[in-house]
Structures are given as structure tokens and as C-alpha cells.
Amino acid sequence: MSNLLKPLKMKNLSLNNRLVMPPMVTSQAENDGRVSKELLDYYNEKSKGGYISLIIIEHGYVKNGQSTKNQISIAEDYFIEDLKKLADVIHNNGSKAVMQINHAGCIVAPSAVVNPRKLNDLAPRELTKNEINEIIESFKDAALRAKKAGFDGVEIHSAHGYLLNQFLSPLTNKRTDEYGGDILSRILMHLQIIRKIRNAVGNDYPLFLRLGVSDYIEGGISIEESKIAAQLFEMAGIDVLDVTGGLCGYEIPERNEQGYFSELSEAIKSVVSLPVILTGGITEPDVAEMLLEEGKADLIGVGRAIAKDSLWAKNSVEFLGQNTQKMVYNI
């Protein structure tokens, strides 16, 4: 059987294959962050037929954590009903849905250091400990809203230069208190968020974390540090690690081969027992199949190819299914 077509079960989440649509910003929410008809239509089109086993919704912002205009909000309880419509659309098409939650960290940050991804911005204001505690609570509240809205799990965003990634990276975290210093201190906020969420949603609710494993910038977080972090995240209650870049974003400078983050996912997979998602320029089902066969990851995220072609998943699943049948027949 094709590796990409193999089912996967974790806790109360059963996936019919290993194909994931990763979170990709569409900026199609209403001005106040509510789910719009355009968003419902978009995710209906992408999930049609259930060929994508898991769709991770683009980041919804927690309280006071908005990143861009027309971003989905999960900051207040009154958004739950609209978010439920979004989960229902995906479920009715046969796919599972996970809500990604995020704090932009645009104006506030662990330290008053300009984000390398936003060099034209003014230096942010350093967060106080009280504000850190408030943000931790906001992540917990947002996760609980995702569960109430009917999503199959929730993903904490700690990549691509957003707030939690800024705490993770030594380039943007220069704090001298318990939240700054070595890797154990720089992930303290993550661990506090994970434990808060786990206590709120229960032990059976799947909890993902999108991890910026390497900044690919001199002085940034190293793969070895991220391996330590990954193990501690698993111990704290994370069920799936979604591997990507850190302050470099979702691309690596001067690298464009399919699966360019595979060195990161392979490194993380070597130290944890939970499923690992790999994304990064994958456009062909044969390559996805090879990456799984080589043990680079357990799940494959295909972003831009699906964004460009809503039939990509259908065509790829059918292609792999037909080829598998031919192989069996030849034997």
C-alpha cells in the first residue's frame, strides 16, 4: 500500500491518509475577524471529497494578538458559532480540521529587539511577566473555543517569526529573567501554554505545535536545541509536531528542492515518538511517497500546490491508488 494512503490514528483523531493541508494565510475573514462566506467557500473547495485527511486552518489570533487585516479571530467566545460553521464545512466533506492559534507579537515581544523578518518595523516593547501570564491564558481560552467549535484539535504556532517563535530564538529573546537564556528558559512560556491548554481541553483532545526548528540565520536557534525542546514538548502533552522554519519563515534562502525542511523533520523525528509533519515545497505525490518511505516524517503537508490547484489532492490520491493496484496485480 502507498505510504501516503496509509491511515493514522492518534487519540480520538483518525486520519484516512497522511496528506495534510498546512495553514496558509488567505486574509478572507471579515474586518472584525469573523468567518466570512468567502472563507467557507474556500475551505469547502479545498476539502471537497475528503482526499486531504487533515486541514489545519490558517492562524486565528488570540486576544490582542492580531497579525494582519482580515485575519480569523478566536479571541472571544462570540466567535465560536461562526468557527463551528467552518469546522462543519470541512467535516461534511470528509476531512478532519485543526485550528491553529497564534499571537503575532508585532508590537510586543520577549525583548525590545527588531524581528529579522520585519526589519522595517520599530523595535517592539518588551513584555512584562504579568502580560506573559495574560497571553498564556489567552492561548488556553482560544484552544477551549476551538474545541467548543468542533475542531478535531488545536495547533499552537511557534514559527515564522511570531511571538512564541521570538521567545524560542536567541536572536529575538534577550531576556535575563526565567523566560530568557538557555533553551530550557526560552521554552518556558511554551510549556506553560501547553500545560494550561491540556488541563482545559482534557487528555484526549489532540494538541499540535508548529515548531520553527531552525532560523537558518547565524546566531539563531540550532537543530540540537530544537531537539531538546521537542522532547520536552512531547512530555508536556503535545501529540503532533508540525516542523517548519523559524525566523527564516516557511522558506530557506537559496533552497527550492521539494521537502527542503526534511533535514529538520528527520532530526525531530529521531528524538520523539509522536507523529511529525513535514512541509516545504512538495508538489509531486511521488516525492511525498519517497519522503515517507525514507522516514523523514509521518505526515506530509502540501501547501502551495493545493492552494493553486484544488484538484491536486484528488488527482494525487487517485494516481497513487491506481499505481498501488497495478503493483499488486503485477505481483
How far apart, in whole angstroms, are the C-alpha atoms of residue 160 and residue 106? 12
pTM of the model: 0.96
SS (H, E, C) 248-282: CCCCECCECCCCCCHHHHHHHHCCCCCCEEECCCC
Output the CA–CA distances (angstroms, integers) from residue 112 to 25, 115, 191, in the order listed. Answer: 27, 9, 23
- The domains found in the chain, sorted by start residue, are 8-330 (3.20.20.70)
Give the per-residue pLDDT at 256: 87
Q: pLDDT digit string (tens) for 183-210?
A: 999 999 999 999 999 999 999 999 999 9
Q: pLDDT digit string (tens) for 72-91?
A: 999 999 999 999 999 999 99
Q: pLDDT digit string (tens) for 225-280?
A: 999 999 999 999 999 999 999 999 999 988 889 999 999 999 999 999 999 999 99
Give the per-residue pLDDT at 175: 98
Q: Which one-letter amino acid corresponds to residue 76?
A: E
Say if residue 311's pLDDT is above 60: yes
Catalytic (active-site) positions = 162
